[in-house]
Chains A and B, each alone.
Chain A
Amino acid sequence: MDTWSRFLDTFFKPELIRQYLPSIAAGTVTTIEIAFAIVVTGILLGLVLAVLRTFRILPVNMMLVACVDIMRALPPIVLVLLVYFGLPNIGINVPSFAVLWIVLSLVLAAFAEEILWAGILSVPKGQWESARSTGFGLFSTLIYIVLPQAVRLTVPPLTNRTLAITKNTALGTVIGVPEILNQATTGQSFSGNATPLMMGAIAYVILFIPVVALGRFLETRFRWSRA
């Protein structure tokens, strides 16, 4: 057998592709579902926290910054294991997909808060002042004047960060969430062949390359408009 066909046989074996396509597809659906849930809750929570921070209530902000920092400094897998093994021991049972969803939402919320807060800060003081002087309240100034400007500035970094965190859904495999990587490694150990793993990798690429491309597009677009 020549090298090429041996390569194909190791990573792209047709009958294994056929055999494992359904489970990889199911894993892909699971990954998409969890990723979607994480993006929605994570960014919303991050937005709420960033808005909360603009009220500048000292004890609240100190707590908030501390929590956000911890979420940014700890590896997500540490948090996943902490929650997954810790909660049942104190009598709280959470299904593993929910552990993944909650942990990664919190991590995304922390990063989103930080990015949005930087965006809010970048809006010049004059914008606040002119809005307040025309009778807008603090909250409506935020909603109508400041956030639209802040969001524009934060879209590219937020996109990239969201991508990086949703990719962490692969951590689900460690706690038995049947997402892509889990299906792929299971397939690999049953078939004794790297084809399922290759399929998993390809599934991720198909899933996330558009987001990478979107991030790249947004980066160049927003850079031009700033120049």
Chain B
Amino acid sequence: MEALLNQFFNLDIMARALPLVLTGLKQTLLLCIVVIPLGLAGGLLVALLSLVPWRVFRWATILAIDFFRAVPPLVLLIFVYSGLPFAGIRLTPLAAVAVAFLLNNSSYYGEVYRAGIESVGRGQWDAARSTGLTLTQTLRNVVLPQAIRNVLPDLISNTVEVVKLTSLASVIALPELLYSADMARSLTFNTSPIVLAAGFYLLMLWPLVRLVSRLERRIAS
């Protein structure tokens, strides 16, 4: 028992690792600020493309979405970071994360938006168009606000996944939360720094996870 506490919840070591872990936390937050808006915007674009009435075009978009949903994000990240340089495209770790996650997240967010848009009835389009609103105006003022509200739990839950994904950046040595915690672990030969990092992830994500559960339950009932 004591060994367990000492190995995982060593407050002394946690205190020593804290400054390093905090710099990592800052990097993680920075990553989120880059990656989440990119994914939200890319996803919207993908959703709109997958609704274009031109069939070939729509299928191509759906194929691309499915492709990026089939490839594990870590594979995508390593491919972008260490595969593309062979083709002469060299990206910084941050840029690699941004590109790889843009591809991955746009597909996931895109599917969420698409389900939302499809959940808005045809009558809403009819009504808006009958008053002379253009396609873009109808989307922006009538369809999307309803669509986003309908899939809000999925949007938040996907955002939780995106924040979790940023931890993969540690694999390509981007010094974010997990990377710095793991560094502290290798310096101290003790797992407590990773527990500390886990604590920070919980701090960020637990409220969102709870929120999703509650929203989903409200929609179900």
Contact = CB atoms under 8 A, between A and B. Distances in A.
* A and B touching (Cβ–Cβ under 8 A): yes
B195 interface: yes
A209 to B, nearest CB: 5
A176 to B, nearest CB: 13
A168 B79 CA distance: 16
A52 to B, nearest CB: 17
Interface in B182-221: 182, 185, 189-191, 194-195, 197-198, 201-202, 205-206, 208-210, 213, 216-217, 220-221
Contacts of B195: 82
A212 B70 contact: yes
Interface string A60-79: 00000000011011111111
- Give the bracket for the number of chain A residues in contact with chain B: 35 or more
A81 B74 contact: no
Interface string A1-40: 0000011001100000000000000000000000000000
Given A74-B202, A77-B167, A188-B83, A90 B4 contact: yes
Contact of B191 (A70, A86, A204): A86
A85 interface: yes
A149 interface: no
A46 interface: no
A213 B220 contact: no
B201 A82 contact: no
Contact of A197 (B66, B82, B178): B82
A52 B121 CA distance: 39
Given A75-B164, A194-B83, A89 B71 contact: no
A216 B66 contact: yes
Contact of B3 (A11, A75, A91, A219): A91
A207 B164 CA distance: 24
A114 to B, nearest CB: 7
- Give the bracket for the number of chain B residues in contact with chain A: 35 or more
B202 A70 contact: yes
A211 to B, nearest CB: 8
A141 interface: no
A69 B205 CA distance: 9
Contacts of A194: 79, 83-84, 86-87
A198 B83 CA distance: 8
B53 interface: no
A164 B164 CA distance: 13
A193 interface: yes
A171 B74 contact: yes
A216 B210 CA distance: 27
Interface of B: 3-4, 7-8, 66-67, 69-76, 78-79, 82-84, 86-87, 115, 160-161, 164-168, 170-171, 178, 182, 185, 189-191, 194-195, 197-198, 201-202, 205-206, 208-210, 213, 216-217, 220-221
Given A73-B206, A122-B220, A194-B87, 12 more contacts: A11-B86, A69-B206, A74-B201, A74-B205, A78-B198, A79-B198, A81-B182, A81-B185, A170-B74, A188-B83, A205-B67, A207-B70
